[in-house]
Amino acid sequence: MDCALGIDIGGTNTVFGLVDRNGSVLVKRSILTMSQNPVKELLDRLFFDVSVWESEMNDGVKLAGIGIGVPNGNYHTGMINPNPPNLGTYWDSLDLVNTIKDYRDLPVIVTNDANAAAIGEMYFGAAKRIRDFVVITLGTGLGSGIVVNGNVLYGHDGSAGELGHIVIEKNGRMCECGKSGCLEMYVSSKGLDLTVKEFKARYPDDTFLYNLPDKKVDGKEMDDAFDRGEERAREIYNYIGGILGIGLAQAATILSPEAFIFYGGISNAGDRLLKPALASMNENLLSQQKGKITLKLSGLPDGEAGILGATSLIWDNVRD
């Protein structure tokens, strides 16, 4: 059976799967990226699994190509743009297309992970009937895939859509990109860690905060605390949502999308995060835009927007 391999590489997890032409995910798996290790180490594990799938599938698998969404992935060059903030140095300026071709000599298309998710949402998810929208991936960092009039906005050099790196707080938190105050230093897994750290310093006697870890704060734990009325958990989501809303308003002032669609780990917080974000966004919009832009969650199962979008690029290309 004809299918494509979709790979969605994140700072923490890599999701990959086989997808047929209709967008059915035949099989998928999530593994740790361990991005500080050589890239080959991840790809060896990943293609080992793919080989197992190939040998196990009853009908036999004919891979038409490999589509990859990855932070800093450049659609035009097939490379990783320099200095990817959420991947280790082994990924810096990597020629990913040719690295992958060492494993399978097939058509390989690389794009930014958020662009892949945007294409997945447009074809199969929450953006099916929307022509102007932005997908925001909330994982280790914050990525964005922008769709304008039904087409992904790549920019002249393929590096558009870095919404995680618009500056929200002048002289704010230092970002690995070299700037400070970037949106993703507040709204992402690492942003959550830093916020919890700040709150711990501000409320040294708070038991709830005291019991949270210093790194990799669990979003689920935050959600549960929010739901049982833990005041600090609510404050933290209000704070993060407020900053997210400012960032969305900045983007909307330029792009005027119909919707922002949220995808990835932290987005599981749902309205706990999106309600304060919506209020803050509307507060910071021009009057003609207030109340007209929707915030919604991915319309696809966890991790699937990325691999669906990445494989769509293969089908679009194979069709051409």
Interface residues toward its own copies, by CB under 8 A = 72, 81-83, 130-133, 144, 146, 148-149, 151, 153-163, 165-167, 169-170, 177-179, 246, 249-251, 253-258, 284, 286-289, 292
Q: What are phi and psi of 295, to 5 degrees?
A: -110, 125
Strands of the 151-152 sheet, one edge to the other: 151-152, 142-148, 133-138, 259-263, 294-297
Nearer to its own copies, 207 or 287 (CB): 287
Do the bridges between strand 151-152 and strand 133-138 make them parallel or antiparallel, or are there none, so unpaired? Answer: unpaired
Q: Give, in order, the Cα–Cα distances in Å from 227 to each of 12, 23, 223, 299.
A: 26, 35, 6, 23
Rounded Cα gap, residues 16 and 27, in angstroms? 9
Six-digit token string for 292: 């007209």
Residue 37 in tokens: 């290790």
Q: Which of 27, 139, 153, 25 is nearest to 85 (CA)?
A: 139
Could you give phi then psi for residue 232, rounded to 5 degrees?
-65, -35
Residue 317 CB, shortest distance to its own copies, in Å, is 17
CB of 21 to its own copies, least distance (A): 26
Nearer to its own copies, 158 or 241 (CB): 158
Minimum CB–partner distance for residue 121 and its own copies (Å)? 15
Residue 157 CB, nearest approach to its own copies (Å): 6
- Looking at the Cβ atoms of 47 and 262, the one nearer to its own copies is 262
Nearer to its own copies, 96 or 160 (CB): 160
- Nearer to its own copies among residue 64 and residue 147 (C-beta): 147
- Say how far apart CA 295 and CA 260 lie, in whole Å: 5
Task: Provide the minimum distance between the beta carbon of 120 and its own copies in the complex, in angstroms, as a whole number.
Answer: 20
* Single-letter residue type at 289: Q
Shortest CB 299 distance to its own copies, Å: 18
- The pair of structure tokens assigned to 247 is 């960032």
> For its own copies, which is the closer residue by CB, 65 or 257?
257
Q: How far is the CB of 156 from its own copies (least distance, A)?
A: 4
CB of 69 or CB of 85, closer to its own copies: 85
Q: What is the DSSP letter of 173?
A: S
